[in-house]
Each structure stands twice: as C-alpha cells, then as structure tokens.
Amino acid sequence: GNDAGFETGTATKTRPKTKRPNLYRVLLLNDDYTPMEFVVLVLQDVFNKSREDAMRIMLHVHQKGVGECGVYPYEVAETKVTRVMDTARKNQHPLQCVMEKQ
Ligand code: TYC
C-alpha cells in the first residue's frame, strides 16, 4: 500500500510494527549447598541489587525454588548468566542461573 491509494510492487504491512526489544527474564535456581551469603553477594554484584533486595530475592528463591533477578535484552541477560555461572563454578558452588524469553 501507499498514500496515493494505488498498489505498487512492494507489499507493506497495514499494522505498523513497533519495535520492542526481545526481553529475557534471568532466573536463579535454588540448591541445597550454595551459601545464602554467596547468593546475596552475587545479586548485589551482578544484578546491582541493594542489600535488602538481594536478601529478599535470595530468600524467595530459597523458599520457592526459583526467582527472578531481572529482565534484560538478550546480550545483557546472557552476560549476567555467564557471570553468575563463572563465579559459582570458581567458588565450587552448584548455583544455577538461567534465562527465558519473557
Ligand atoms: N538453599 C541454599 C541454602 O540453604 C541457599 C540458596 C538460595 C541457594 C538461593 C541457591 O539460588 C539460591 N544454603
């Protein structure tokens, strides 16, 4: 379509597509061995949470099994997951962090 009201060779969408970023939820998973303090420090360091928010999220994960650390564009989410997994492995904790499309 076009403004002049006749059709030319290129089809265009009637509904304008607005550009939303593809967002990903980063989740922390509970386990029986990772120290609570380690999880709190990870939430402060990697996800820039306050001590209070980090405590709240850690306890939520501890009690419910899984919890959200934040929502980010793909590359940011991926970098955060990698940072968590690298620091957990380095400290020999089984902490797991995953991302899922929102
Ligand atoms: N469940 C762990 C403990 O009792 C603490 C913990 C919380 C571990 C959150 C992982 O994502 C996690 N030490």
Residue 88 half-sphere exposure toward CB, CA atoms < 13 A: 24
Cα 35 from Cα 24, distance rounded (Å): 26
**pLDDT-based confidence at 9, cuts 50/70/90?**
very low
For the cut 50, the answer to whether the pLDDT of residue 6 exceeds it is no
Residues with CB under 6 A from ligand 1: 28-32, 34-36, 39, 58, 61-62, 95
Which tens digits make up the pLDDT trace of 55-95?
A: 999 999 999 999 999 999 999 999 999 999 999 999 999 99
3-26 burial code (b ≥16 CB/10 A, e <16): eeeeeeeeeeeeeeeeeeeeebeb
Q: What counts of helices (H) and strands (E) characterise the chain?
A: 3, 3
Provide the 8-state DSSP code for 91: T
Task: Tell which atom from ligand 1 comes closest to the C-alpha of 95.
Answer: 10
